[in-house]
Chains A and B, each alone.
Chain A
């Protein structure tokens, strides 16, 4: 829960959707307990290789454990977070043939997210340069729209209505707030 390996950073955003079942699910499977790599590591260490069951029994008493997916999980919090999708889940099952077709799409989804975040960085850079207040306001408006759309995209892919509602609120109220701010800046600069 607290730490994931680098390749997993964007993947976790889109984890549970049917469309975004990932090829990473397979790679997570292949480093988990009972996998060939785990057997090889156990052979090196002269220890009996952990199976899924023994690994789960070992983690039952501990506060933190590595669940074999490169994911350091807090065991106690895990039970609280069980209902939240994508957090503290059981290791993903091996994908069916139909889901494997979606894995190719998921890589595309990650690329789309990366491109969107790059587009979000441009107005942020503009705000950082900051020479004129109206250019800053423009950049803020752009950031607001882009952040809302990114949140909406993630909510749809995660199949999560709550994030989507937040995105719709940002779209309307964020713009309204910027309008009020523009009026205030105008009045102040006139006075």
Chain B
């Protein structure tokens, strides 16, 4: 029981660290694509880590949590592509 708690809180902690790390690039003066990359990677992976931590803690909620993981993995990736495609016209994105 204790081991599972430690594991799950470690997962959640890693997820929150990813959130902060990825979101901190949002405040800088880099290009949109750079921010998009760090934000989508960190948000998706961090959120998946948090949900996995919850799954370890309370396995009885697995349908909801697995659904959340699948939604995250597919739609966040897709949103990253769509935003990158839509934002690329006319802006300088090499910075």
Contact = CB atoms under 8 A, between A and B. Distances in A.
**Majority SS of interface residues in chain A?**
helix
B7 interface: no
B64 A168 contact: yes
B20 A175 contact: no
A189 B35 CA distance: 21
Contacts of B16: 112, 115-116, 119
Interface in A157-191: 159, 161, 164-165, 167-168, 171-172, 175-176, 178-179, 182-183, 185-186, 189-190
B5 to A, nearest CB: 7
Interface stretch (A2-10, A80-88, A121-129): A121-129
A101 to B, nearest CB: 9
A145 B51 CA distance: 12
A95 B65 CA distance: 29
A74 interface: no
A134 B65 contact: no
Given A19-B58, A149-B50, A164-B64, A119 B71 contact: no
Size category of the binding interface on chain A: 35 or more
Interface string B44-70: 100100110010011001001101100
B3 interface: no
A176 B76 CA distance: 9
Given A119-B16, A123-B23, A152 B54 contact: yes
B89 A189 contact: yes
Nearest to B32: A134
B26 A165 contact: no
B64 A142 contact: no
Contacts of B54: 152-153, 156
Given A122-B27, A123-B23, A179 B82 contact: yes
A132 interface: yes
B20 A119 contact: yes
Contacts of A152: 51, 54, 64-65, 68
Contact of A182 (B39, B50, B86): B86
A164 B61 contact: yes
A60 interface: no
A146 interface: yes
A138 B89 contact: no
B61 A139 contact: no
A183 B79 CA distance: 11
19 contacts: A134-B32, A134-B83, A134-B91, A137-B83, A137-B87, A141-B43, A146-B19, A149-B50, A152-B51, A152-B65, A152-B68, A156-B64, A164-B61, A165-B64, A168-B68, A171-B72, A175-B75, A178-B83, A186-B89
